[in-house]
A = this chain, B = another copy of it.
């Protein structure tokens, strides 16, 4: 018996290219604002190719978010799991990463936050994908707060998360990259108060 006869390849150049293009357009203009046809025209790919790889637009969006999560987690963990850095240095470097991001030319807020804004129904697979990604960041922050020796690591982690989420939203709204610096200052103060 032949294996995987009907299975669609999880890795394929066309699929990757579609995800790249879809990410760029969704991130630039939003999910509802960008139609399938626009993505296909920009990627120079036939419609049936897209629908062979993804069952629907919603599934494409989920795949875009999952792909972005992998890339972001990788950058984040390169900082948080760097044994050459002290916990405090990790915290510092983390917010520097945000500064760099906010200053990047195509920064346009958080693709996950914006996905929740457009798909607020908790039952939506898109919404659920976002929640999983965000929870992963909260968990990583809690680990860091434990390394910091915080009195209440989970509570401090959540506070730090509120600061990062707020910084992203503020930087996006006002095109103000310095929000990362403000958040860092606040984060260090909270961390300091929490390890006394």
**Chain A interface residues toward B at CB < 8 A:** 28-30, 32-33, 108-109, 113-114, 116-120, 122, 130-131, 134-135, 155, 158-159, 161-167, 169-170, 172-175, 179, 182-183, 185-186, 189-190, 193
Whether B118 pairs with A109 at a CB distance below 8 angstroms is no
Whether B159 pairs with A162 at a CB distance below 8 angstroms is no
**Which residues on the B side are within 8 Å of A179 (C-beta)?**
158, 162
Give 14 A-B contacts (CB < 8 Å), ordered by A residue: A32-B32, A108-B120, A109-B120, A114-B120, A116-B173, A117-B118, A122-B175, A130-B173, A155-B182, A158-B179, A163-B186, A166-B166, A166-B167, A166-B169
Whether B161 pairs with A162 at a CB distance below 8 angstroms is no
**Which residues on the B side are within 8 Å of A174 (C-beta)?**
131, 134-135
Whether A182 pairs with B158 at a CB distance below 8 angstroms is yes
**Which residues on the B side are within 8 Å of A30 (C-beta)?**
32, 117-120
